[in-house]
Amino acid sequence: MNNKKSINRYPFANKNTQKYSLLKVNQELCNKENNIPAFPHRKLIESTQKEKVFNDASKRKVEDVKKETSLGNPIYMNFDIGHPLGKGQFGCVFVAREKTSGYIVALKVLTIKEIIKSHTEKQLRREVEIQTNLRHPNILRLYGHFHDEARVVLILEYAKKGELYYHLRKSGRFSEKRASKYIYQMTDALSYIHKKHVIHRDIKPENLLLGMGDVLKIADFGWSVHAPSHKRKTFCGTLDYIPPEMVDDEDHDEKIDIWSLGVLCFELLTGTAPFETEGGHSETYRRIATVDFTFPDYLSFEAKDLIKSVISSFCLCESALLSYLH
């Protein structure tokens, strides 16, 4: 193994045996499960941005990383790098195969320069610490990470079907049966992280992925926080999903995730967020603070009642939600 000092570690390697004890899976079974017989060159999948378009700068960033991996950079030596899955503010995500086990993963390659420039070092460290310790079928696994002087690489569970947002835009809106399945899985996952005193703080379709069997996975814990003993006051998240507490500059706790769940339910059933407006940020803030939204006529009484209960009064806890959805 290459021991250049620029390389931090190979997170799957056992120093004594050089075996990959964390990922003991059969290559044939893994490839069959993920329907990936090989790694042919494929076209770029739509990015995680809402507009789903790579601009020229984004393309160059993806190509830079692809060139780096193809030239045998030792930081990637344990993986066969596949096609890009998308890009974000700090880097790109690629599908990859761990060479020894054949296990399919997603590599999130982050540029350290961009992280430092945006002063998000603490945020990244917190994301890694929290997500590494979560084990739930509806939460995307973070298997490990490594880095050199230029990049940090997160080794993530591969969610084959991609972003929930992409499927929502493709369908326009989901049926109540399909939406209720996703909300049930979301509620179960949120109940799990809240028992561990973790608040996600950025629930939205772009941060939810779909795996095999249409299983929902909560991803991107960049705004998450571990808050066992006190409330938080950071203003964060996404405009359409910001809760009234943040708009009013008040402390918040895990209940803001329940608020976001209600907003998500509305968006899955209608295709738009309940407080979305063309009047600018100020008008959106006003509508959120006053809980000013209306239901389309085609929603059932049960769907309206559930959303109203969650958004208007926060009156349902996770256990009550699970019973209601069941």
Asked if residue 143 belongs to a known ligand binding site, the reply is: no
Tokens found for residue 15: 């120093």
Which pLDDT value is given to residue 14? 36
Fold of the domain built from segment(s) 21-157? Phosphorylase Kinase; domain 1 (3.30.200)
Q: Helix 318-325 vs helix 255-270: angle between axes, to the nearest 10 degrees?
A: 30
Q: Is 145 left (phi over 0), alpha (psi -120 to 50) or beta?
A: beta
Give the residue-averaged pLDDT of 100-124. 90
103 pLDDT exceeds 90?
yes
Which pLDDT value is given to residue 301? 93
- pTM (predicted TM-score): 0.74
Q: Where in the chain is the domain with CATH 1.10.510.10?
A: 162-325
For residue 245, what is the enclosing H or E element?
helix 244-247
Show the 3-state SS of 47-111: CCCCCCCCCHHHHHHHHHHHHHHHCCCHHHCCEEEEEEEEECCCEEEEEEEECCCCCEEEEEEEE
Tokens found for residue 1: 């193994």
Antiparallel, parallel or unpaired: β 225-226 and 142-147? unpaired
* CA–CA distance, 58 with 111 (Å, rounded to integer): 13
Single out the residue of 90, 97, 89, 83 nearest to residue 46, CA to CA: 83
Tokens found for residue 260: 């976001």
The one catalytic residue in 64, 80, 188, 202 is 202
Instruction: Tell me the range of 84-88, 131-135, 248-252 where mean pLDDT is highest.
Output: 131-135
Asked if residue 220 belongs to a known ligand binding site, the reply is: yes
CATH class name, domain 162-325: mainly alpha
pLDDT-derived band at 5 (thresholds 50, 70, 90) equals: very low
Q: Where in the chain is the domain with CATH 3.30.200.20?
A: 21-157
Tokens found for residue 95: 């599908």
Antiparallel, parallel or unpaired: β 208-210 and 198-199? unpaired
Residue type, 83: H
Tokens found for residue 130: 């929290």
CA distances from 208 to 7, 202, 220 (A): 31, 10, 8
Asked if residue 159 belongs to a known ligand binding site, the reply is: yes
Q: pLDDT tens for residues 235-268?
A: 555 778 777 777 666 666 778 888 889 999 999 9
Asked if residue 150 belongs to a known ligand binding site, the reply is: no
Asked if residue 16 belongs to a known ligand binding site, the reply is: no
Q: Is 297 a known active-site residue?
A: no
Asked if residue 114 belongs to a known ligand binding site, the reply is: no
Q: pLDDT tens for residues 176-233?
A: 999 999 999 999 999 999 999 898 888 999 999 999 999 999 998 887 888 766 555 5
Q: What is the layout of strands, in order, in the sheet containing 104-111?
A: 79-87, 91-98, 104-111, 151-157, 142-147
